[in-house]
Amino acid sequence: MNQDSKKAAVAEAAIGYVSEGIIGVGTGSTVNHFIEALSSVKARIDGAVSSSEASTERLKALGIPVLDLNQAGPLDIYVDGADEANEHLHLIKGGGGALTREKIIAAASEKFVCIVDDTKLVDVLGAFPLPVEVIPMARSYVARQLTALGGRPVWREDFVTDNGNLILDVHNFQIVDPPSLESRINDIVGVVAVGIFARRPADVLLIAGDEGVRKMGP
């Protein structure tokens, strides 16, 4: 099975977690498959809260109402992909640059269902460069602080987030203690969000492989 077929399979499996109400929807190519699949159950949901302008456009194109999180209130379920995941359901996210809104929706949701293919499963997070969203005027300052922590930040040039900010992709981190590094980077002034999702990890990790979709978590 190729990677895209795995993404489609795991997205379809996540539909099993959708009952009714308002669904939190992430961003990325795996989630794009989920949005397609969601259109088949749109009669039984009230709509979606979206983590990016890109997902919003896709949801609206399929006739799924998109609501503001402030109006929606707490969500039962949030479905999103990841760039890396470990056995503790800690994640690296933000390859698509939507990490801040993704983190907000994950925080506001009762259950975070993360959908990945088996290439994303790792023993130690960090081979995928860690995205950090920064306020534009703080870019160089934050980059120096990340270097002091042992990383090699690279500015994702020609990219502006939906919030009008910049992304530094940090290479060279071997993230052996994800919650601790998440806190340390959060504490750097000028950082909006860091792409480590460990203090609020996924609750369920669905992983697509050649043998089908398996689940980690309760």
For ligand 5RP, the binding residue among 24, 81, 129, 201 (CB under 6 A) is 81
Does residue 27 bind ligand 5RP (CB under 6 A)? Answer: yes
Identify the bridge partners of residue 166 per DSSP, sorted by sequence position: 134
- Contact positions with ligand 5RP (CB under 6 A) in 90-109: 93-99, 102
User: Measured from the CB of residue 43, what is the shortest distance to ligand 5RP in angstroms?
Assistant: 26
- Which residue of the set 84, 102, 133, 182 is catalytic? 102
Give the start-end residues of each E strand in the chain. 22-25, 47-50, 75-80, 84-85, 91-92, 109-117, 130-134, 152-155, 166-171, 191-194, 196-197, 204-209, 212-216
Identify the bridge partners of residue 216 per DSSP, sorted by sequence position: 205
Half-sphere exposure of 81 (CA within 13 A, CB side): 30
Distance CA 56, CA 24 (A): 11
Does residue 83 bind ligand 5RP (CB under 6 A)? Answer: yes
Catalytic site includes residue 102: yes
Does residue 129 bind ligand 5RP (CB under 6 A)? Answer: no
User: Measured from the CB of residue 8, what is the shortest distance to ligand 5RP in angstroms?
Assistant: 11
- The number of residues that bind ligand 5RP (CB under 6 A) is 17
For ligand 5RP, the binding residue among 14, 72, 77, 82 (CB under 6 A) is 82
Given a contact cutoff of 8 angstroms between Cβ atoms, the answer to whether 106 and 80 are in contact is yes
Residues acting as catalytic residues: 102
